[in-house]
Chains A and B, each alone.
Chain A
Amino acid sequence: MTTSLLVPLHVAYIRALGNSQDELSYHLSAHLRMNAVYWGLTALCIMDHKDALDRDEMVDFVMSCWDEEAGAFGAHTDHDAHLLSTLSAIQILLMQDALDRVDVDRVVKFILSLQQPSGIFAGDAFGETDTRFLYCAVSALSLLGRLHELDVEKIVAYIRHCRNFDGGFGAIAGAESHAAQVFVCVAALAILDRLEEIDQPTLCWWLSERQLPNGGLNGRPEKLEDVCYSFWVLSALSILGKLTWIDASKLEAFILSAQETESGGIADRPGDVPDVFHTLFGIAGLSLLGYPGLMDLDPVYCMPASIVENVGLRKGWKALQRRTS
């Protein structure tokens, strides 16, 4: 059983991801490339190895994904613009201090054009709606310093409409509560300074009940544990100041047990194939739990806390105190 975070191995794993063109899965996941770069870079920053990936090459890649027709970013060169990849692009450029490369006015116009009459956002012009896209819009506009252009009341009204009796939120109004959708709604409300919309005692109860006896967290009642919920559940608990309501050391042990110990990376659960998505969300969870040696992660933006502080956007979340050993 691995009891410590294998930092050099995970750094090597993330570096190697860009060189796996000889694997079919690399090409089949091109539609996630922009997100994957964001996941990898954020994980590296939290492990304090930001320079493990070449900055200029990364910024050039992001700019190569600009969709001139739509005025936003696609997931890969020649892919269509989408809110999911646009938020990741903005986050990467901010972390790499290269936001000056973006035509901010056009991106803002793209984002605002996707708000629907009900208040929710579509992901692109074809209209799929989801509270994930609402979060992407709020987070991106906030990072670009353009939150004031948003119809906040309309957004808040929609989120309120998504709130279920268990205190949680789903993907759309009427949908079952799901921990990842709880993160997007709670974090969006945090950015909008509207946390009073949340039934906090009920939601924090529901979130604390995501922890299973093996220490891992699930995303809905009676489902299996998965490392990514370490971030979705913990971020919401830390924004609401209730991180102590789960057992940190058991969760930490669960995340560490999902590490791949030969070539690095973290999987959804022990024994499975690792990927960069679970690698970030495992490390993000560990950072919020005060794991020694890691940098602070901002749970609202899922970015290094120092970057968010530099742009003056830090909200009132609370992580566990960083341990020294």
Chain B
Amino acid sequence: MHNVKRTRQSPEALAETKLREKSKIDEYLTLTDDVLSRKKPDWSKDAFQLTQSLLQINPEFYTVWNYRRNILLNGIFPQSTPEEINNLLSNELSMTTAALKAHPKVYWIWNHRSWCLENVPDGPERNGTPSIEWRQANWDKELFVVERMLDADARNFHAWNYRRYVLANMPTRRNETSELTYTSRKIGANFSNFSAWHQRSKSLVVLWESGQLDPVQSKDEEFELVSNALYTDPDDQSAWIYHRWLIGSGENKEQLEREIQVITELLQEQPDSKWSMESLVHYKRLLLQHHSPDSKALKRECVELLSRLMDLDPIRYFRYRDLTRDLDY
């Protein structure tokens, strides 16, 4: 159970709750017994309806989702036209949209939706030629649904994973640039949304590798975006972690030195900024590793920063101590 506050009930109130629950329990167990006893081999529409009643009470009942899909596959689809199958699956998607709003983190609901999408027939014939109208319409709608889910909770990892699944599998793939735009919007709404920064990193790699964006120019724009975030809230991890991704292994010396300068200035403005110090240590160590292996000055600067971090952030004292030892100063 997550995020359910404890409440104190008197013994009388508790007894009353239990009494009220008793009829609900009886009803639920009767329905469960009915559904589970029909499971094999009742593929009737009655049984289909019963699974719906049960899943509305308990969307976590994975066995009943399985049963529902088996009824569709073995009982209903074989007697249906493609158009009817499309309607049935569209209904399934609508039903689970409602369920998702109430239970946005139930794996089984998301899973049922992807099964439905994968089973939507292509589309009707138009003037003797096949179309993908139904498939197209359902997948397009899915992207809309998942965006609403991310509007409600911008960190819901189920929704982000599902979004990536939809984007990768829709019949007409969207241009990756539109996904980059989407992450700009999410990050703009909240710099602290690491899920969106993560998605952005994936999107950019696709755009760089496919030649749709010039990596050098695009990286500079990213540094500007992320610097804004760092200056807005230097205590927020999200942008710092993204910044570290942009620097990568630090092979670009000029870039590394420029960013060290930017962070040094931030640290002057915010002398207790833990993340500025932590990042400076990391980037100076990259300089040592790749560009100036013998610089005593860099080592000394790292040791000094680490010593301040030990005081400022004592819960990670031993990490800073281990890093200090590694420097062998």
Contacts and interface: CB of A to CB of B under 8 A. Distances in A.
Interface in B252-277: none
Contacts of A124: 62, 66
B198 interface: yes
Among A80, A164, A250, A274, residue most surrounded by chain B Cβ atoms (within 10 Å): A80
B325 interface: no
B319 A208 contact: yes
A296 interface: no
A271 B164 contact: no
Contacts of B25: 21-24, 27
A267 B237 contact: no
A203 to B, nearest CB: 12
A267 B198 CA distance: 30
B60 A246 contact: no
A298 interface: no
Interface in B17-74: 18, 21-22, 24-25, 28-29, 32, 36, 39-40, 57-58, 60-63, 65-66, 69
* A contacts with B: majority SS: loop
Interface in B56-109: 57-58, 60-63, 65-66, 69, 107
A82 B316 contact: no
A24 B21 contact: yes
B161 A175 contact: yes
26 contacts: A22-B18, A22-B21, A23-B21, A24-B25, A27-B28, A30-B32, A30-B61, A31-B58, A31-B62, A78-B36, A124-B66, A127-B115, A165-B248, A176-B160, A205-B319, A206-B241, A208-B316, A209-B237, A215-B315, A222-B236, A222-B238, A245-B316, A245-B322, A271-B5, A275-B1, A277-B1
Chain A interface size range: 35 or more
B8 to A, nearest CB: 9
A78 to B, nearest CB: 5
A10 interface: no
B15 to A, nearest CB: 10
A31 B28 CA distance: 14
A24 B24 contact: yes
A215 B315 CA distance: 8
Given A209-B237, A222-B237, A268-B1, A82 B6 contact: no
Interface of B: 1-6, 18, 21-22, 24-25, 28-29, 32, 36, 39-40, 57-58, 60-63, 65-66, 69, 107, 111, 114-115, 155, 157, 160-161, 164, 192, 194-195, 198-199, 201-202, 236-238, 241, 244-245, 248, 314-319, 322
A222 B316 contact: no
A245 B319 contact: yes
B192 A79 contact: no
A272 interface: yes
Given A23-B25, A78-B36, A272-B3, 11 more contacts: A80-B62, A124-B66, A165-B201, A166-B245, A171-B157, A176-B194, A177-B198, A208-B316, A222-B194, A242-B319, A274-B1
A250 B315 contact: yes
Contacts, number: 145
A79 B6 contact: no
Given A24-B24, A273-B5, A31 B61 contact: yes
Nearest to B22: A22
A127 B66 CA distance: 11
B155 A220 contact: yes
B27 to A, nearest CB: 10
A81 to B, nearest CB: 9
Contacts of B315: 211, 213, 215, 246-247, 250
Nearest to A228: B2
Contacts of A273: 1, 4-6
Contact of A260 (B6, B29, B244, B319): B6
Contacts of A268: 1-3
Nearest to B27: A24
Contacts of A74: 63
A307 interface: no
Interface in A204-244: 204-206, 208-209, 211, 213, 215, 220-223, 226, 242, 244
Contacts of B245: 165-166
A79 B3 CA distance: 28
